[in-house]
C-alpha cells in the first residue's frame, strides 16, 4: 500500500531534503518518525530534492507500508514525532500507480527578496536582502525571456549528473509590494522541472539584468549558447521556497 504526504518545512537548519552522512536532513527526520510510527524501516521519496537551506510549503512524498493505520491518521502520528520545523499537513492513500517523482507534472518555486538600505531581521529568514538598486520594470521584463523551453545548462551547478538540461518554464510571475519600509519582491517560477541551483541562478541573472550588469543579449546568449559567463550569481538558499507540486489529480 502506497501513502502520500504533504509536508512543510523550514529549511534553515537542514542540509536539504536528501539523507547525507555529514548533515541533518529532512528526509532523515521523516524516515525516523515513520520508523517510530510503523516499527519498520521505510523509504520515503519526495517529488525532488530541495537544497540545503531551501524551504518547502508543500513538498509531496510517498512511502510504501503494510499497516492498519488509516491513511489520514499519518499526519498527526508523524507530527507527534517530528521536530517543530517539519510538519505533515496532510496524508492520504496514493492513487494507483502514483510516484512522487515520476507523476509530477509541474512544480512551482517562489524566490523572495527585499530591497532595502539596511538588513531587516524580520525578513531575513525567508527572503534575500538586496542592497543595491534595481529597475523593477526590467525585472518584470527579464521574467519574459525565460518563458518556454530552453537548455538551462548554464544555470545548472557544475558536476550535476542529469540526462538532459532542457526544461520548460510555463510562467514566471514577479509580484511587488511594500512593507515595513522596504520593497518586497516575489518571483514565482512554474515549470516541468528544475535543475540543481537553477531557480537561484535564474533569479540572480534576472537581478543582474535589472541592475544593468547583464544585457538582454547576455541573457539570450546564456540560454541559446549555454554561456556560463552570461549568468548572474546564484542567490542564497533562504529566499527559496518550494510552493507547489502539481500531479494533475487531487491527492488529499
Of 75 and 174, the one with the shorter C-beta distance to a second copy is 75
* Euclidean distance between CA atoms 21 and 119, whole angstroms: 34
> CA 225, CA 228: separation in Å to the nearest integer?
9
Dihedral pair phi/psi, residue 157, rounded to 5°: -55, 140
Pairing of strands 86-93, 106-115: unpaired
Our answer to whether residue 51 is catalytic in this structure is yes
**Least distance from C-beta 185 to a second copy, angstroms?**
17
Min dist CB 112 to a second copy, Å, is: 11
Binding site for a second copy (CB under 8 A): 8-10, 55, 57-58, 75-76, 79, 84-90, 118-122, 124-126, 180-181, 241
What is the closest distance, in whole angstroms, from the C-beta atom of residue 89 to a second copy in the complex? Answer: 5
Query: Which of 13, 51, 184, 246 is flagged as catalytic?
Result: 51
Can you give the length of the chain in residues?
252
Report how far apart, in Å, the C-alpha atoms of 146 and of each of 34, 219, 220 are: 40, 9, 9
**Beta carbon nearer to a second copy, 148 or 177:** 177
Instruction: Return the number of the residue (83 or 99) whose C-beta is nearest a second copy.
Output: 83
Active-site positions read 51
Amino acid at each position: 500500500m502506497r501513502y502520500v504526504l504533504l509536508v512543510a518545512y523550514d529549511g534553515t537548519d537542514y542540509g536539504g531534503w536528501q539523507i547525507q552522512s555529514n548533515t541533518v536532513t529532512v528526509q532523515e527526520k521523516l524516515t525516523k518518525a515513520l520508523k517510530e510510527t510503523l516499527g519498520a524501516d521505510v523509504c520515503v521519496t519526495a517529488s525532488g530534492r530541495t537544497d540545503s537551506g531551501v524551504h518547502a510549503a508543500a513538498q509531496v512524498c510517498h512511502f510504501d507500508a503494510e499497516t492498519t493505520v488509516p491513511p489520514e491518521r499519518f499526519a498527526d502520528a508523524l507530527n507527534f514525532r517530528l521536530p517543530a520545523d517539519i510538519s505533515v499537513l496532510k496524508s492520504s492513500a496514493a492513487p494507483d500507480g502514483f510516484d512522487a517523482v515520476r507523476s509530477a507534472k509541474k512544480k512551482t518555486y517562489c524566490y523572495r527578496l527585499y530591497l532595502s538600505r539596511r538588513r531587516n531581521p524580520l525578513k531575513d529568514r525567508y527572503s534575500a536582502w538586496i542592497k543595491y538598486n534595481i529597475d523593477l520594470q526590467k525585472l518584470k521584463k527579464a521574467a519574459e525571456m525565460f518563458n518556454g523551453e530552453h537548455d538551462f545548462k548554464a544555470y545548472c551547478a557544475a558536476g550535476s549528473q542529469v540526462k538532459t538540461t532542457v526544461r520548460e518554464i510555463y510562467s514566471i510571475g514577479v509580484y511587488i509590494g511594500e512593507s515595513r519600509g522596504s520593497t518586497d519582491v516575489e518571483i514565482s517560477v512554474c515549470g516541468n522541472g528544475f535543475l540543481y541551483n537553477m531557480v537561484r541562478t535564474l533569479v540572480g541573472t534576472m537581478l543582474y539584468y535589472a541592475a544593468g550588469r547583464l544585457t538582454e543579449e547576455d541573457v539570450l546568449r546564456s540560454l541559446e549558447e549555454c554561456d556560463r559567463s552570461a549568468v548572474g550569481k546564484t542567490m542564497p538558499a533562504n529566499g527559496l521556497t518550494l510552493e507547489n507540486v502539481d500531479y494533475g489529480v487531487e491527492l488529499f
